[in-house]
């Protein structure tokens, strides 16, 4: 099937800003009352040990907590009716179930939502950090674009965020927490979906938000294994895509330890150009990245690797580039996401003309690759983004997210 679509018109639509009841950030950061969100079963068992639960009981209690936290989305211990009152009180004294704090929520008329989330500083007293998380509904599918770091070090020249310094890696609770916040805001926990009030809203996860996930591999792995756990959040690994700029030594490990889908920010077919667009290419050139893809555990025709390719006018969008792309990917079970560039103030690039994108896409398609061109979504909330973030540095994040949000998976 030809999955190609026309780009959306440039109209700016109406924005709904939803008021958010503030949760106390202190509850999330208080070192004496850490959140249980993001803990694995083993870590939950340890947490139970600290409130005096005997070892022989822990497995059963962990199962109860797991169910309440990750399947039902409990936000307080009070609601855990299957847990004894005494244990609930003991847990409440030591722990919370807090997620990252939602500072602002923006809702687009096309259903796209964006949340600005506040995370604690690394050390007590440090200024809180902020990341964005974007939800893009599309028919039966709802994709959540999740961040892995605050800031990024990789300086991709088409990405405004690349100019931001890396602040810190997110911990598992902050990565899982983004998914839980989305489920909270969309009323997407099991009670609602099982009652048939509405279908599952968050069906797909893409690690394509702020940061390079394979520069934070352990925390991303731990978080995604929780997200994929069938007794909890339960998003299948086939519906979770990790997007990397090509951190070659970590690619195989991501496949074997997480087993999710892989996407690679390719964007160029020659090392000389990719060195400029994705400077990490100087360390891990195209041939090495593609070799790692060929060896990606589980890659097959039904589990294809996505190659993201941002369309830059006169830079990487020639017919020759398209032919070279097809040659380069020969033998790799691949699909190619063509992403119309979303220009930002001061950027030296322009988006390719639509005609050129179509010609490029045609060549890729005729070579047997699905080559969807993603329709920009949520343009209205991007336009109003200044209400979310005011500094230039922060504005840049929204541009990058806009770009990334267009590169969604097909599953
Ligand atoms: S595209 Fe991704 S890896 Fe490159 S600078 Fe932007 S956030 Fe970092």
How would DSSP label each residue in 237-293? Answer: GGGEEEEES--HHHHHHIIIII--EEEEE---SSHHHHHHHSGGGGTS-HHHHHHHH
Strands 204-207 and 334-340: unpaired
C-beta neighbour count of 93 within 10 angstroms: 11
Q: Give residues (CB < 6 A) around ligand 1.
A: 152, 154-156, 159, 161-162, 210, 212, 245, 265, 400
CA of 359 to the centre of ligand 1 (A): 27
Annotation marks residue 145 as catalytic: no
User: Residue 49 in 3-state DSSP?
Assistant: helix
Using the 8-state DSSP alphabet, how is residue 8 labeled?
P
Annotation marks residue 293 as catalytic: no
Tell me the pLDDT tens digit for each residue of 289-333: 999 999 999 999 999 999 999 999 999 999 999 999 999 999 999
**pTM of the full structure:** 0.85
The whole-angstrom distance between residue 332's C-alpha and the CA centroid of its chain comes to: 24
In the numeric block, which tokens belong to residue 360?
A: 């490029």
Q: Of 161, 211, 244, which is best to mutate to test ligand 1, by the most ligand atoms within 8 angstroms of its C-beta?
A: 161
Please write down the long-range contacts of 160-165, taking CB distance under 8 Å and 24 or more positions apart.
Answer: 160/344, 160/347, 160/395, 160/396, 160/397, 160/399, 160/400, 161/210, 161/396, 161/397, 161/399, 161/400, 162/400, 163/393, 163/396, 164/393, 164/396, 164/397
Task: Spell out where 6-112 has E strands.
Answer: 15-18, 101-108
> What's residue 304's pLDDT?
95
CA of 154 to the centre of ligand 1 (A): 6
CA of 177 to the centre of ligand 1 (A): 22
Spatial separation of the C-alpha atoms in residues 245 and 154, rounded to whole Å = 8
Please report the sign of the dihedral spanned by the C-alpha atoms of residue 392, residue 394, residue 399, residue 403: positive
CA of 65 to the centre of ligand 1 (A): 36
> What's residue 119's pLDDT?
84
Q: Of 132, 149, 153, 154, which is best to mutate to test ligand 1, by the most ligand atoms within 8 angstroms of its C-beta?
A: 154
Tell me the pLDDT tens digit for each residue of 173-208: 999 999 999 999 999 998 776 666 668 899 999 999
pLDDT per residue, tens digit, the chain (411 aa), is: 222 222 333 333 445 555 444 443 444 445 568 899 999 999 999 999 999 999 999 999 999 999 999 999 999 999 999 999 999 999 999 999 999 999 889 988 888 999 999 887 666 666 788 888 999 998 889 999 999 998 888 888 888 665 567 778 999 999 999 999 999 999 999 877 666 666 889 999 999 988 999 999 999 999 999 999 999 999 999 999 999 999 999 999 999 999 999 999 999 999 999 999 999 999 999 999 999 999 999 999 999 999 999 999 999 999 999 999 999 999 999 999 998 887 777 788 999 998 999 999 999 999 988 766 765 555 555 533 322 333 333 334 444 444 444 434 444
């Amino acid at each position: 099937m030809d999955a190609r679509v026309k780009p959306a018109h440039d109209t700016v639509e109406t924005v709904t800003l939803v008021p958010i009841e503030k949760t106390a950030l202190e509850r999330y950061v208080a070192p004496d009352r850490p959140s249980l969100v993001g803990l694995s079963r083993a870590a939950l068992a340890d947490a139970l040990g600290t409130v005096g639960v005997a070892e022989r009981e822990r497995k059963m209690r962990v199962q109860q907590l797991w169910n309440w936290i990750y399947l039902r989305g409990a936000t307080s211990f009070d609601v855990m009716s299957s847990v004894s009152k005494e244990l609930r009180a003991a847990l409440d004294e030591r722990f919370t179930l807090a997620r990252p704090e939602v500072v602002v929520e923006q809702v687009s008329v096309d259903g796209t939502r964006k949340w600005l989330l506040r995370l604690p500083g690394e050390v007590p007293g440090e200024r809180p950090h902020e990341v964005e998380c974007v939800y893009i509904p599309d028919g039966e599918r709802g994709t959540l674009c999740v961040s892995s770091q605050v800031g990024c070090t990789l300086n991709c020249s088409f990405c405004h965020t690349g100019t931001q310094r890396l602040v810190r890696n997110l911990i598992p609770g902050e990565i899982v927490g983004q998914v839980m916040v989305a489920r909270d805001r969309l009323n997407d926990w099991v009670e609602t979906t099982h009652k048939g009030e509405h279908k599952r809203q968050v069906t797909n996860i893409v690690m394509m938000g702020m940061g390079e996930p394979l520069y934070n591999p352990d925390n991303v792995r731990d978080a995604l294994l929780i997200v994929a756990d069938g007794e909890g959040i339960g998003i299948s690994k086939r519906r979770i895509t990790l997007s990397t700029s090509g951190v070659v030594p970590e690619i195989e490990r991501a496949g074997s330890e997480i087993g999710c889908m892989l996407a690679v920010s390719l964007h160029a077919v020659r090392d000389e150009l990719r060195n400029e667009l994705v400077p990490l290419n100087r360390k891990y050139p195209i041939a090495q990245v593609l070799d790692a893809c060929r060896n990606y555990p589980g890659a097959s025709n039904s589990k294809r690797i996505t190659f993201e390719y941002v369309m830059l006018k006169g830079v990487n969008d020639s017919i020759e580039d398209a032919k070279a792309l097809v040659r380069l990917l020969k033998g790799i079970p691949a699909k190619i996401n063509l992403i119309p560039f979303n220009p930002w103030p001061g950027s030296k690039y322009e988006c390719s003309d639509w005609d050129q994108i179509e010609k490029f896409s045609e060549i890729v398609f005729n070579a047997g690759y699905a080559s969807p061109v993603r329709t920009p979504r949520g343009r209205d909330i991007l336009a109003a983004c200044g209400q979310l973030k005011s500094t230039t540095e922060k504005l840049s994040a929204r541009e990058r997210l806009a770009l990334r949000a267009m590169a969604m998976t097909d599953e």
